[in-house]
Amino acid sequence: MTHQPPTSRTFASPVVEAKSWLAGLSFGPDRPLIDAGQAAPAEAPPEALRRHMADLVLTDTSAHLYGAVLGLAPLREALAANISFTYGGAVSPSQLAITSGANHAFCAALASLAAPGDEVMLPTPWYFNHKMWLDMANVTTLPLPCGANLLPDPEQAAALLTDRTRAIVLVSPNNPTGAEYPPALLDAFRELARARGIALILDETYRDFTATPGAPHGLFADPDWDDTLIHIYSFSKTYRLTGHRVGALACSPSRLAEIEKFIDTVTICPTPLGQKAALWGLENLSQWVASQRDEVLARQSAMRDAAPLLADSGWHLRGLGGFFAWIEHPFDTDATKVAKALTREAAVLALPGTFFTPDGDATGRGALRFAFANLDAPRIGQMAARLAEFKGP
């Protein structure tokens, strides 16, 4: 049998690959690069938070030392209160772990759920890091193609599940399509997962940037939510703490005991400085977060305003939400070729839909993901104009 290390079972990092397309290219001041490739905030945290972090670095010895494996108690308590308030449910600190980012939370959850040869269902287009981890863990990905509305169908999911399926994974607002999943849809998937005795993993990394006001869903209002739901959250996008790697995971205390083993082995603990920053953010930055949400919604509006110009050139805005726009291209060729040519000829960096779908998938072949969170309205307009002028690869 040929030896196959885990990392060889998956593809290269899509963001790293896309950044490599910039090698050897130069962009003049009259046509600077418009980078819509990655959704990470490009700016530092707000000054008040940075000052707090600087003070911690100088005066708080614990900011530099190992902390509790499942995270600092004050942050777990504050997040439990935040989730309970936001969703109108009951979440306790004993149901929460702080992780080194949302990706770490996903990997930890899967380590407690699935063995090699098991299956996990991912709606397509999927978030590529989820697929990469399943590949490396030798867990089979069970694709669930989304329809034209980019929403997964619970009935279709039910027909595809097997006795080897251990979890259904949903991301809302979705990365890469931007779709926000209605509460009734999430309820239906929770009931499906519960009926089949499997987990529902819900990644809400972009929870704080939803277009719909109020609670995104009522899953936490179920007093038995943790028998099925595993919830993932990220402080990184909300407080611009991406480099400090702070995420969170909510589930049953019994599952946390298994997840604790994974965290202790992989990272020992999340960074204390990042956790303390997240705690300060929860306690002090609610108004600032609201203003950031308003800005993201304004940028979504700018994308929506650009849709007619794009449509006149054959581009079609199919998905919009969170930090993302999912746009179908007008060319009879693979989206990867389109994305590479866009970078060279139009100075626009976006990720091809092929990075988010199985090989040969027509949905991925025909679309690109544009992450517009770092683009203000004028630059979004410039990006749309460049797409309209682009003649193809």
Query: Each residue of 94-116: pLDDT tens digit?
Result: 999 999 999 999 999 999 999 99
Task: Map residue 140 onto helix, strand or coil.
Answer: strand
Q: How many residues does the structure list for the chain?
A: 393
Instruction: With a cut of 90, say whether residue 352 has pLDDT above it.
Output: yes
Distance of CA 50 to the CA centre of its chain: 24
Average confidence (pLDDT) over 341-356: 97
Instruction: With a cut of 80, say whether residue 170 has pLDDT above it.
Output: yes
Which pLDDT belongs to residue 219? 98
Average confidence (pLDDT) over 45-52: 97
Average confidence (pLDDT) over 351-376: 95
For 308-327, how does the pLDDT look when each residue is reduced to its tens digit (9 = 90+)?
Answer: 999 999 999 999 999 999 99
The 8 Å CB, 24+ separation contacts for 180-184 are 180/210, 180/211, 180/212, 180/216, 180/321, 180/322, 181/151, 181/152, 181/217, 182/151, 183/215, 183/216, 183/217, 183/218
Strand 119-124 relative to strand 96-99, pairing: unpaired
Q: What is the dihedral of CA 197, 203, 207, 210, to 10 degrees?
A: -90
Which pLDDT belongs to residue 39? 79
For 380-390, how does the pLDDT look when each residue is reduced to its tens digit (9 = 90+)?
Answer: 999 999 999 99
What is the gyration radius of the CA atoms in the chain, in angstroms? 21
pTM for the full model? 0.95
Average confidence (pLDDT) over 226-252: 96
Task: Render the burial of 159-180: b for 16+ CB within 10 Å, e for the rest.
Answer: eebeeebbbbbbbbbbbbbbbb
What domains appear along the chain, each with residue ranges and CATH number? 6-44+288-389 (3.90.1150.10), 47-283 (3.40.640.10)
Task: Map residue 124 onto helix, strand or coil.
Answer: strand
Distances (CA, A) of 272 to 8, 69, 80, 286: 33, 11, 18, 21
Peptide bond into 173 cis (omega under 30): yes
Q: Which residues are within 8 A (CB) of 120 and not within 5 positions of it... i.e. 6 or more apart?
A: 110, 113, 114, 134, 139, 140, 141, 142, 165, 166, 167, 168, 169
Question: What's the CA gap between 113 and 13, in Å, rounded?
Answer: 24
pLDDT category of residue 214 using cuts at 50, 70 and 90:
confident
Q: Which residues are within 8 A (CB) of 177 and not within 5 positions of it... i.e. 6 or more apart?
A: 125, 146, 150, 318, 319, 321, 324, 326, 369
DSSP string computed for 195-240: HHT-EEEEE-TTGGG-SS-S-S-SGGGSTTGGGTEEEEEESHHHHT
Q: Out of 10-14, 37-41, 258-262, pick the least confident.
A: 37-41
Which pLDDT belongs to residue 179? 97
Report whether 365 contacts 335 (CB < 8 A).
yes
Which pLDDT belongs to residue 1? 53
User: What amino acid occupies position 204?
Assistant: E
Q: Which residues are within 8 A (CB) of 24 and not within 5 positions of it... i.e. 6 or more apart?
A: none
Which pLDDT belongs to residue 354? 97
User: What amino acid occupies position 46?
Assistant: P
pLDDT category of residue 189 using cuts at 50, 70 and 90:
very high
Question: What's the CA gap between 2 and 68, in Å, rounded?
Answer: 40
Q: Going along 291-352, which residue ranges are E strands?
A: 316-321, 324-328, 348-349, 351-352
What token pair was written down for 354? 């092929």
pLDDT category of residue 213 using cuts at 50, 70 and 90:
confident
User: What amino acid occupies position 45?
Assistant: P
Instruction: With a cut of 60, say whether residue 181 has pLDDT above it.
Output: yes
Question: What's the CA gap between 12 and 367, in Å, rounded?
Answer: 20
Report whether 231 contacts 80 (CB < 8 A).
no
Report whether 374 contacts 42 (CB < 8 A).
yes
Average confidence (pLDDT) over 222-230: 97
Report whether 210 contacts 178 (CB < 8 A).
no
